[in-house]
């Protein structure tokens, strides 16, 4: 089975499973999915280790537990319903643990290529002129 045949939701689930161990060590960060042709290419987590140090100067002992990871993954999969009309881009899921509660948000970034727009415009213009009787 090709990756293109797997839904974006299933690919997101796969990415979360792959990142589970790392999420278990973090209390905040940004999980990102880079998408091309509705297929996840690169994915990972951005985090600043300085932000993970509490005011006492010590590091928090643990990151997201199993139930928080499930809730985070479910939120991310549900957020995919807001992706409309684009096939290339990046989705970032910010997360943090505050008072043992997971807080998360999603940000969508669509990418377009001007060269592709110009090609489509030229094709449309060629089709318009091919259908007219300007040569007569």
- HEC readout, 72-133: HHHHHHHHHHHCCCCCCEEEEEEEEEECCEEEEEEEEEECCCHHHHHHHHHHHHHHHHHCCC
What is the per-residue pLDDT for 39?
Answer: 96
User: Which tens digits make up the pLDDT trace of 46-74?
Assistant: 998 765 555 555 555 589 999 999 999 99
Extents of the domains making up the chain: 3-130
User: Which tens digits make up the pLDDT trace of 13-56?
Assistant: 999 999 999 999 999 999 999 999 999 999 999 998 765 555 55
Give me the sheet containing 28-36, strands edge to edge. 39-46, 28-36, 89-98, 101-110
Would you give the distance in Å from CA 39 to the centre of its chain? 10
User: Which tens digits make up the pLDDT trace of 82-116?
Assistant: 999 999 999 999 999 999 999 999 999 999 989 88
Query: pTM above 0.85?
Result: no
């Amino acid at each position: 089975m090709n990756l293109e045949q797997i839904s974006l939701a299933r690919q997101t689930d796969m990415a979360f499973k792959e990142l589970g161990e790392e999420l278990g060590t973090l209390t905040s960060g940004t999980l990102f999915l880079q998408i091309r042709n509705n297929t996840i290419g690169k994915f990972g987590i951005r985090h600043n280790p300085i932000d993970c140090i509490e005011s006492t100067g010590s590091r928090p002992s643990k990151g997201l537990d199993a139930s928080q990871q499930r809730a985070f993954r479910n939120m991310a999969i549900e957020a995919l319903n807001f992706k409309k009309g684009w096939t290339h881009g990046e989705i970032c899921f910010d997360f943090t643990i505050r008072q043992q509660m997971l807080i998360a948000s999603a940000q969508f970034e669509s990418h377009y290529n001007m060269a592709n727009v110009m090609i489509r415009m030229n094709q449309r213009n060629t089709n318009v002129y091919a259908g007219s009787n300007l040569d007569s």
